[in-house]
Amino acid sequence: MSNVDEMGLTKENAEYYEASFVPAIFDQWPPRVMDAMSMGEGDHVLEVGCGTGVHTREMLKRIGAAGRVTGFDLSESMLGVARAKCPGAEFIQGNAMALPFEDASFDVVASTFMLMFVPDPVQAIREMWRVLKPGGRLAISVWEGLHENPVYSRLASIATERINDEAGTSLSWPFVLGETGKLADLCAEARISGVTITPHEGRAKFPSIDQFVRTEVKAWVLADHVDEANLDQAVADAEAAFASYCDEAGAADFPLNGLIASAKKE
C-alpha cells in the first residue's frame, strides 16, 4: 500500500477512482462545464480540484495549441494519475482556499464537483474569482441535493440502517451544496456578481447494483472497516430498491443530477 497523502488518499485510491467513478459518472460532464464557461481556442484555464484530470484532458482538446491548462488539487495521489493521463497540462498541489497564483492570472477558472469538500467554500470561491482576469469566466459544478437524486438518497438511508449513522452521513455529504439555494448563497457571500445557476440532468451507470453499492461504500465509508455481513445486507436492500433501474443483464442506469453556477467577471 502506498503512502497516504494530504487528503488521506493513496495511489491505489486514486487509480480506483479513475477506473470506477470516471466512466460511471464523470465522463459526461466536461462538455457541459466547458460550455458554461464559453471555453475556446487560446484560453488560459485553471481547474481547481482537478482530481485525476478527467475535465483537464478534455479542456486541452478545446483550447488548442495556443491555450494552457493548469490543474490544481490537494491530493498528490490524484495528481499522480492526472500527470500520467494528461501530460500536456501543468499540475500543482495545494489548498483551494489559498491559491498560489497572482490576481487576474486566468481567462477561465473551473471547479468541478470539488467545493463540497473544502472546509471554507466561500473562501475558495473568493480565491477563484481573485485569480480570474476581467472578462474571465467562472464555472462551479456541484451535485444537486438528495431531493433531486433519489437513488443516492435511498442508498444513504440503507447505509444508515445496515451499517451505521456515519456511513449514511458520508454517502450524503457530496450532495450538501446542492440543497435549495445553498450554492447561490455561497456565491453571494463570496461577492460574485451575475451568477447563473443551471440544473443539469446526468446519469450514473454501473455494471450492477452490487458494484454500485460496493464502489460507493469503498469510496466514502472505508469498506475495509465495514462488517461484510452488513455490507452484503446493504447490497441486497439496494438490489431490491433499485431493480427498476436495471436492464436484463443487471446493469444499472439511474439519474445523478448536478448544478453548474457560471459568472463573467466585469
pLDDT tens digits, 175-232 = 999 999 999 999 999 999 999 999 999 999 999 999 999 999 988 766 557 889 999 9
* Strands 44-48, 68-73: pairing kind: parallel
Whole-number Å distance between alpha carbons of 260 and 151: 21
Q: Rounded mean pLDDT of 159-165?
A: 94
Q: Rounded mean pLDDT of 122-134?
A: 98
* pLDDT confidence of residue 209: 98
pTM exceeds 0.85: yes
Instruction: Locate the domains of the chain by residue range.
Output: 11-146+172-205+256-264
- To 10 degrees, the CA torsion angle through 20, 176, 117, 202? 30
The CATH fold of domain 11-146+172-205+256-264: Rossmann fold (3.40.50)
Listed as own residue / partner, the contacts of 11-15 with beta carbons closer than 8 Å and 24 or more positions apart are 11/77, 11/80, 11/81, 13/77, 14/52, 14/75, 14/77, 14/78, 14/80, 14/81, 15/81
Sign of the Cα torsion 113, 33, 26, 1 reads negative
Is the pLDDT score of 154 beyond 80? yes
pLDDT tens for 15-50 read 999 999 999 999 999 999 999 999 999 999 999 999
- Angstrom CA distances, 239 to 12, 44, 148, 154, stand at 28, 45, 20, 12
- Residue 7's pLDDT band, with cuts at 50, 70 and 90, is confident
Residue-wise over 73-85: b if at least 16 C-beta within 10 A, else e? bbbbbbbbbbeee
- Total length of the chain: 266
